[in-house]
Amino acid sequence: MKIHEYQAKALFKEYNIRTVDGVVATTPDEAVATARQMGLPVVLKAQVHVGGRGKAGGVKVVREAAQVAPTAKQILGLTIKGLPVRKVLVTPAVNIGKEVYLSLLIDRGKRKAVFIGCAEGGIEIEVTAKQSPEKILRCEVAAKDLARLDPGVLADFAEKLFPETGQADATAELMCRMGRLFAEKDASLIEINPLITDDQGQVIALDAKVLLDDNALFRHPELLTLRDLDSEDADELAAKEVGLSFIRLDGSIGCMVNGAGLAMATMDTIKHFGGAPANFLDVGGSSDPKKVVHAFKMILKDTEVRVILVNIFGGITRCDDIAKGLLASLKEFEVKVPIVIRLVGTNEAEGRALLEGTPLISAETLEAGATKAAEIGGRS
Ligand code: GDP
Ligand code: MN
């Protein structure tokens, strides 16, 4: 589960991780009142469940009283990566000395928790990881020790972020607190980008991102109340309502698959052949043609989609029902991108017969379908 920055900062506070206190505003007037109380300059920050808000114009330092209302209005009018901004966090602006990157997550391959750091902060860590992987620092710790880390074992890592002794110590302490928060709240990620020193040399978490493990939420009723349905991807929620599991990804190949396992195998196969899936979509075990039409609608909303791969293994799902759904979709809206389809299993022959004469590109195997889709969608 994603939570907002202001909620993550409240958790930080609970764990004595130094941040900047803020107040959430939902209207320009509220922002003005808060800024007046806080004193200028302030930072207005869009509260949406995506990164890169700064780049999208969602984080603004405001120095003049007259600019608070128009800036708040502008940010509240933004839609960032598909999510409308409904809240802005107003915080006192801090004078930044140095910005670094710090996060804590689980490395499943190594079965360890790992702190990731980079002495250059405020950046997109994925870009740095690709372009200068030597700049990415790692510090592995046993997951079972997370709640009781010894700052001593974190000292070298902390010193690479902030060489000055007092700051390195403060950073190691902060990492111990991150560990405890991570373990006690069943987080799957804590990211501080940037972690800064201010003009007095204090180490402060200027931004806060916390992901919580959905499967552990039953243990934390207090965290469940942090869920903001308004802020979850509208398409993903709409999909849930009609019985589809849909998760947006950033590739170019739209996927329509029946069954979560097959959907994952399909995404892996697409990747294996060099393509990039635009979504995970499980139309479920039943084969209501209406669901297929819905699924198409969701996929086609994404303007990045250049090809759709339909991979159906008919068991309970009947191939002819899927074919009917496809035909209905083709009739209902203009599908401008090519559709590659692999359709096998129950009522396969009937399904294929229905699709004869349509422009669908038929594939005998998943490998062939994924290869074709990657060819059309572009290899990443
Ligand atoms: P993100 O773009 O969604 O990651 O939002 P951040 O909270 O990380 O803010 C983006 C950038 O805005 C930071 O890297 C800082 O450079 C800048 N910023 C945010 N808060 C302040 C502040 O209080 N003072 C100053 N000077 N810059 C800030
Ligand atoms: Mn940030």
Q: Note the pLDDT tens digit of each residue in 142-196.
A: 999 999 999 999 999 999 999 999 999 999 999 999 999 999 999 999 999 999 9
Residue 93 CB less than 6 A away from ligand 1: yes
The pLDDT, as a whole number, for residue 238 is 80
Q: Which residues of 7-21 are buried (b: 16+ CB within 10 A; e: fewer)?
A: bbbbbbeebebbbbe
User: Which whole number is the average pLDDT over 61-71?
Assistant: 98
Q: Is the pLDDT of residue 233 over 90?
A: no
Residue 164 is a catalytic residue: no
Contact 317, 340 (CB under 8 A): no
Instruction: Classify burial at 303, counting beta carbons within 10 Å of its beta carbon; exposed 0-12, middle 13-18, buried 19 or more.
Output: exposed
Ligand 1 atom nearest the C-alpha of 193 is: 8
Q: Is the pLDDT of residue 380 over 70?
A: no
The yes-or-no answer to whether 21-92 and 234-377 have a common fold is no
Contact 192, 205 (CB under 8 A): yes
Q: Cα(320)–Cα(351) distance, rounded to whole angstroms?
A: 4
Q: What is the CATH number of domain 234-377?
A: 3.40.50.261
Q: Which of 64, 101, 140, 159 is catalytic?
A: 101
CA of 131 to the centre of ligand 1 (A): 23
Tell me which residue of 303, 379, 319, 380 sits closest to 355, measured CA to CA.
Answer: 319
The pLDDT, as a whole number, for residue 287 is 65
DSSP state of 243: T
Contact 322, 292 (CB under 8 A): yes
Tell me which residue of 39, 75, 69, 71 sits closest to 56, measured CA to CA.
Answer: 75
* 249: Cβ contacts below 8 Å, ≥ 6 apart: 267, 276, 277, 278, 279, 280
Take atom 3 of ligand 1 and give the residue whose Cα is closest.
53
Q: Which of 173, 191, 304, 375 is catalytic?
A: 191
Residue 6 is a catalytic residue: no
Q: Cα(325)–Cα(234) distance, rounded to whole angstroms?
A: 23
Tokens representing residue 71 in the block? 């800036």
Ligand 1 atom nearest the C-alpha of 92 is: 23
- Length of the chain as a residue count: 380
Ligand 1 atom nearest the C-alpha of 20 is: 23
Take atom 6 of ligand 1 and give the residue whose Cα is closest.
207
Q: Give the distance from CA 53 to its chain's centroid.
A: 13
Q: Cα(107)–Cα(143) distance, rounded to whole angstroms?
A: 10
Take atom 10 of ligand 1 and give the residue whose Cα is closest.
54
Task: Provide the residue ranges of all domains of the chain, joining segments of one domain with +.
Answer: 21-92, 96-224, 234-377
Q: Is the pLDDT of residue 58 over 80?
A: yes
Tokens representing residue 332 in the block? 């209902």
- Average model confidence (pLDDT) for the chain? 93
Q: Provide the residue type at 70 as one letter.
A: P
Residue 43 CB less than 6 A away from ligand 1: yes
Fold classification of 21-92 (topology level): Dna Ligase; domain 1 (3.30.1490)
Residue with tokens 């509220």: 30
The values of phi and psi at residue 96, to 5°, are -85, 125
Residue 96 CB less than 6 A away from ligand 1: yes
**Each residue's pLDDT tens digit, 272-281:** 999 999 999 9
Q: Is 217 helix (H, G, I), strand (E, B) or coil?
A: helix
Beta bridge partners of 115: 104, 139
CA of 267 to the centre of ligand 2 (A): 29
Which of residues 314 and 39 earns the better pLDDT score? 39
Residues 96-224, CATH architecture: 2-Layer Sandwich (3.30)
Which of residues 336 and 178 earns the better pLDDT score? 178
**Each residue's pLDDT tens digit, 70-123:** 999 999 999 987 788 999 999 999 999 999 999 999 999 999 999 999 998 877
| Mutation probe of ligand 1 site: the residue of 2, 9, 40, 59 with most atoms within 8 A of C-beta | 59
Q: Cα(326)–Cα(341) distance, rounded to whole angstroms?
A: 10
